[in-house]
Each structure stands twice: as structure tokens, then as C-alpha cells.
Amino acid sequence: MPVNDTQLSQMFEEVLTLSKVDATQSVAVLKSGYSDPRTVRAATDAALRLGAKVYGVELPAFNDPRAIGNDLTAIVGQTPLSGHKAALEALMAADLIVDTMMLLHSPEQEQILKSGTRMLLAVEPPEMLARMLPTLDDKRRVEAAAEVFRNASTFHAASKAGTDFHARLGQYPVVTEYGFADEPGRWDHWPSGFLFSWPDETSAEGVIVLDVGDILLPFKRYAQSQVVLEISEGYIRKISGGFDADFLRSYMEHFKDPEVFALSHIGWGLQPRAEWSAMGLHDKNDAIAMDARAFQGNFLFSTGPNTEVGGPRNTPCHMDIPLRHCTIRLDDTTVVEAGRVVAPEASIG
């Protein structure tokens, strides 16, 4: 059922409170012409009720000519903030930014975070925000998993469909998403509930098999046939299968950049209120499909850039691909078994 404006504002007040917004804070609401006006109003109203100094920063939409479709995650790096020094300074002056526009994977976002400003991305529809309203238990669950992840030196994913993928860890940090931004320089996304890191450079090896029902983002498509990705020295070297493989290969080749075939972040979903099936109940332009990224027990891997953690790859194509029914091991610890979270989060929250 639809969420009314009062409920949406109340939810924002709860999330901003978790993000440590109070009368000592300044909050910037970043928007563009495609931002959901209900989200913008609710974020503004909630911050005002908490006593914060609130202001808006509105930027014109920017269309990258390499983009295919209008999903906000379909192309990364260039945003309406690119090269806009005045707006950048206005945003860095805030304690917290509510981003209803999408700065993800942009150098400007990294510059803002390094200044100590916190950021909360909120671009999904209100009903999705309501179902995955973040809690302190979400944070505890994700942070418990992150402790294991940070201490691991190897990552291995396997499945009955044929996935047998492994990588070394340690070169890059573990990133957590639990739905609120409660520390200086923290970026988070409401809704979320997962974690990830990046393979050490050139260490990703093996085979990843997308089975029927696995999800291709930003296509927002459930695979209808198996796709086999052969990976060597950190790059996808071969994509084979039927229609879905042809679709994926054609899309990635469109960018004419070998870096789009690099493995980016790897991790798993921990959000019990995210649903694998939810994407099928939305039109493609409704949402960016955070359920798919966060549903509990998925193996989520991505392709493309890693500049946000100081890596060398700055490329516009970033794909997130969540798989079901995989087993994930960190060193000798199984954290997900056949798509079911078993450690250490299984007893948390």
C-alpha cells in the first residue's frame, strides 16, 4: 500500500536521528529535476523538526551520451556536480547531505566525504524505504560480518550451478551499508543492508555462473538462461551462454573500455526485509532495485570502477550482479551456505 506524506516524513525523522542529526547540525538536501519531490519534502521537514539548519542544493540534470536507458546506476563518474565548484563548496559546508540525486562513484562524492561531511543516499520509492527502514540491529548484523571480513585473507564463492570463484583480500577496505550515516565522512544508502570489499589487484580467478533467476543490474532482469563468466587476473575474459550472455556482453562492449570487464566489489546480502522477488513487482523506472543488492544470503559481485577506495579503475560502466544459492567462505569460515547466512550474523538481530 502507498506510504502517505506524514509517514514518509516520520520515517525520515527516525533515520536522520540514527544519523545523529540534531539542533547542532546543518543538513543539505541535494536534488535535481528527476528527484522524487515527496522524498525531498520529507527529508527537509524531518531535518527541520529535529532543529537542524536545513538548506537545498538543486542542480540541473546531466545526461552522459554513453548512457543506455535512464537508470541512475547505469553510468557512473559524471554527475550534475562535476566541475561545479560553488555547489561542491556548499555541500561540503553541511554536516549531513541527503542525496536524492545520486553522486555515487563520483570524485566529487569522495571529496565531500574526505571533508568529514556525512552522506545519505535516498532514491528508492517511499514504499521500499518503509519496508527496509533501518534499525540498530541492521548495523549490528552488518558490523559483525565486517569484523570477520576484515580479518580474512581469502574469499571463495561456489555453487551447484558451477560457480568456483576465489580472490585474495587485504589491499582494499571493507565497506558496510546499513542504512544511516552516523560517523564523520560516512556514506550510506537507505535502503541497504550488505557489505563488500574488493579483490586484491589481479587476484580474482575462476568461474562465476549466473543461474536462472539470478539478477542483472542495471538491466533489472532476472536471468532466463545460464551465463558463464571466466575470470583471470581480475578480469572477465569470456562470457558464454545464451541470450542473457549475448545481452550482457553487448552492453559491456558498448563502452569500448577494457576496464568495464574488471571485477569490482564482492560481498553478500544481510537484509532480512529485502526480497529477491521484489524487483519483479516494480516497473523498471520505479527504483534502482536495492532489494536485489541486499537480500539476505546473496553473493553480490560487481564490475568496473574501484576509484572510491583508491583503486586505479575509473570507468563509467558499473554492474551489480546478485546470485542466489551460493556458498561463501572467508579463509576457513563459511559465512553463507547455499544462500543461507550462517555466520556470524545468523544469531544477531
CA distance 229 to 164: 10
Final residue in a domain of this structure, among 123, 151, 168:
123
CA distance 336 to 298: 8
Q: Provide the residue-wise pLDDT of the chain in tens; the chain has 349 residues.
A: 689 999 999 999 999 999 999 999 999 999 999 999 999 999 999 999 999 999 999 999 887 778 787 788 877 777 889 889 999 999 999 999 999 999 877 889 999 999 999 999 999 999 999 999 999 999 999 999 999 999 999 999 999 999 999 999 999 999 999 999 999 999 999 999 999 999 999 999 999 999 999 999 999 999 999 999 999 999 999 999 999 999 999 999 999 999 999 999 999 999 999 999 999 999 888 899 999 999 999 999 999 988 888 888 888 899 999 999 999 999 999 999 999 999 986 646 5
User: Is 288 inside any structural domain?
Assistant: yes
* 166 & 293 share domain: yes
CA distance 70 to 278: 20
User: Is 186 inside any structural domain?
Assistant: no
What is the reported pLDDT for 349? 56
Phi and psi for 17 in degrees, rounded to 5?
Answer: -65, -45
Q: Which of 36, 32, 56 is nearest to 44 (CA)?
A: 56
Residue 15's alpha-carbon distances to 152, 179, 229, in angstroms, are 31, 8, 39
* 64 & 87 share domain: yes
The answer to pTM > 0.75 is yes
Q: What is the largest CA-CA distance in the chain?
A: 57
| 60: CATH | 3.40.50.2300
* 60 & 83 share domain: yes
Number of domains the chain contains? 2
What is the reported pLDDT for 347? 47
* 92 & 40 share domain: yes
What is the reported pLDDT for 79? 84
User: Is 258 inside any structural domain?
Assistant: yes
